[in-house]
Amino acid sequence: MGTDNLFHKRKAKSIQDLRRRKAKKEAYEKILIVCEGEKTEPSYFSEIKDKHELNSANIDIVGDCDSCPTAIVEFAKKKYKEEKDLGDPYDKVFCVFDRDTHAKYESAITLANKSKPSDTFVIINSVPCFEYWLILHFDFRTRPYSPLPGKSMGQQIISELKQFLPNYSKGDNTIFSQTESQLQFAKANASRGLKQAQRNNTDNPSTKIHILVEYLENLKK
């Protein structure tokens, strides 16, 4: 009897929590953004959320699940199921991760592509890494990257980025505001570079960050 009462109390609390969240939400879509980085990427998208005055009840940004791409996708699927079971599923789930040195990068893409509903899960990948997107705010580059002795592709990108942002470091929580004036240039470069990479049957280098940025920009429209 005691166990039954506890179950009913928990169920009632979940229903109350769901009602409160729905009351706080605005009319536009509810989305989940799961990032590889614990600080840089979540802070970047949080800045965009704040700039466009997007409701926190509509936008969940997570960056502390794991750095492994497959773990990111698995977390996103689990979180989606939890919200769906509560009766308030996400309209879109964005999985944001890098190629860099991850051994399970391709597996993560396959896993995300097989996730259901198929039109809900969206891969936002960068090759070699997120910092390539930041470089595109200042320069259009399509030279492919490969590991060098003692220096990964990601480390090379960060070194190049510091030509434009000398004080850049992982975890910088103002990177969007530092680069916002160049955002239109970056989006054009990213779109152009992605199309060029696809024509050449490669993804090195490329990024889809601009797709998520534009989605957030237009979410309330």
For residue 108, what is the domain's CATH number?
Answer: 3.40.50
Q: Which two tokens stand for residue 63?
A: 């960056």
> Which CA distances in Å does 127 have to 51, 99, 124, 200?
27, 5, 10, 15
Range of the domain at 118: 29-218
15 assigned to some structural domain? no
The tens place of each residue's pLDDT in the chain, 221 residues long, gives 444 554 344 454 555 565 556 658 899 999 999 998 778 999 999 999 999 999 999 999 999 887 899 999 999 999 999 999 999 999 999 999 999 888 899 999 999 999 999 999 999 999 999 999 999 999 999 999 999 999 999 999 999 999 999 999 988 899 999 999 999 999 999 999 999 999 999 999 999 999 999 999 999 98
72 assigned to some structural domain? yes
pTM assigned to the model: 0.89
21 assigned to some structural domain? no
Nearest to 123 by CA among 102, 94, 103: 94
86 assigned to some structural domain? yes
Q: Which amino acid is at 176?
A: F
Identify whether the C-beta of residue 55 lies closer than 8 Å to the C-beta of residue 26: yes
At 34 the three-state DSSP class reads strand
19 assigned to some structural domain? no
* Total of domains in the chain: 1
127 assigned to some structural domain? yes
Task: Phi first, then psi: give them for residue 95, nearest 5 degrees.
Answer: -105, 110
Element spanning 45, H or E? helix 40-51
Identify whether the C-beta of residue 33 lies closer than 8 Å to the C-beta of residue 121: no
